[in-house]
Amino acid sequence: MCQEVTRPRVGVDGRKFPGAAARGPHGTLDDAAALGFDGVFFRTVLDMSPALDLGELRDIRAHADDLGMYLEAGLGKVNPFATPEMPELRAAGDGDILLGFRRMMVACAEIGCVELWAATTNYQLGYPGKFVWDRFRTDVSWPDQLTATRRFLQKLRPVAKDLGIHVNLETHEEITSFELVELVEAVGTDVCGIVFDTANPLQRLEHPRRTTDRVAPYVRQTQLKDCTVTRVGDGYRFDLVPCGEGLVDFEYVVSAVSAGRPNVTLTIENQESRVDFPGPAPVTVLPIADPDFVTSHGHLTVEEFAAFTSIVGEHEGCSPEVDFGHAEAVAALLASRDHIRSVCDRITVTP
């Protein structure tokens, strides 16, 4: 006889949710609830209140509670070479970035958000080849960026410890899961963790199951998305697709992550519509014929790279849709929701 256990809560990204910018935090919570989601993960607390107004933040917290939804938030980029691209972080501290982070962390703690997203750099849309990733900047080396990031996080460590907060680093496009685990261990797992974006590590030539094994013990937040990787000329094209239509084995992911953290929330980072994010859809090509690109992944073993190449082309890629509008974004989001829920139903039943 089987006994059902609690199914993980499935939510949505509060920045990319269709119509989020126009509707604001309250409207986004309402719309997400209407579509049957269990929570909203706002990328930064500044997305909820640019002025860090505690009254405004408490109202949003109360609204989420009234809807029975989880509420998650984040901070911003923690690489000092990337923070100039986010002037709002400096503004939050009246010119003092460390003070800005402290104020954001205090505001989050005030509304019970203690698992906080962060990332290392931005995706540089529109640049050719490897230069879409700041890993390949020519003015500062990637090891120097990692060192600066570690030092900055260590400055945040006492604040996080005092507030009972974890600063959780995303498996972002430019950083390998090996490097991310090293960063978390260096700063300390009592104040630092991982936000598992399930598709991004494939841009670092990693096999999704191997990535899962590495990061699962450290995961405290998630951004679930799926992708295809297909051969094009001298590279591999990386395309986002709804969860369940690509290379990520979500049954493996959810099982591994929830084994160590049963209450982890499962947030879908949906494909953004061109209505909400005007301009050309990003096209990412992994330039594997570029020696700098390949050799920059020093931790990657031949065995794992072989496993990665074995799944390339397993699912057909597709060119990003120019007319990927609101309706298309909602449809893709719901397809992802249904897949993740079906995965949860299969793995949350025990004898």
Q: What pTM value is reported for the model?
A: 0.95
Element (H, E) at 286: strand 284-286
In the chain, alpha helices (H) = 20-34, 45-48, 54-66, 87-92, 97-110, 142-163, 177-187, 208-215, 250-260, 291-295, 302-311, 326-347
317: domain CATH number? Answer: 3.20.20.150
Q: Is 216 left (phi over 0), alpha (psi -120 to 50) or beta?
A: alpha
Which residues make beta-bridge pairs with 39?
70
Three-class SS state of 83:
helix
The answer to whether the beta carbons of residues 218 and 256 sit under 8 Å apart is no
- d(Cα 335, Cα 224) in Å, to the nearest integer? 13
* Domains identified in the chain, total number: 1
Residue 314: predicted pLDDT = 84
Query: Sheet containing 226-232: which strands, arranged edge to edge?
Result: 226-232, 235-241, 284-286
Tens place of pLDDT per residue across the chain (351 aa)? 344 457 899 999 999 999 999 999 999 999 999 999 999 999 999 999 999 999 999 999 999 999 999 999 999 999 999 999 999 999 999 999 999 999 999 999 999 999 999 999 999 988 989 999 999 999 999 999 999 999 999 999 999 999 999 999 999 999 999 999 999 999 999 999 999 999 999 999 999 999 999 999 999 999 999 999 999 988 999 999 999 999 999 999 999 999 989 999 999 999 999 899 888 778 899 999 999 999 999 999 999 999 999 999 888 777 666 688 999 999 999 999 999 999 999 987 543
CA angle 69, 70, 73 (to 5 degrees): 135
What whole-number distance in Å separates Cα of residue 321 and Cα of residue 328?
10
Sheet architecture: strand order including 219-223: 219-223, 192-197, 166-170, 115-119, 70-77, 39-41, 10-13, 266-268
d(CA 76, CA 117): 7
Q: Note down the domain range covering 323.
A: 3-350
What whole-number distance in Å separates Cα of residue 95 and Cα of residue 329? Answer: 37
pLDDT for the residue 69:
98
Q: What is the pLDDT of residue 351?
A: 38
Instruction: Give the pLDDT of residue 2.
Output: 44
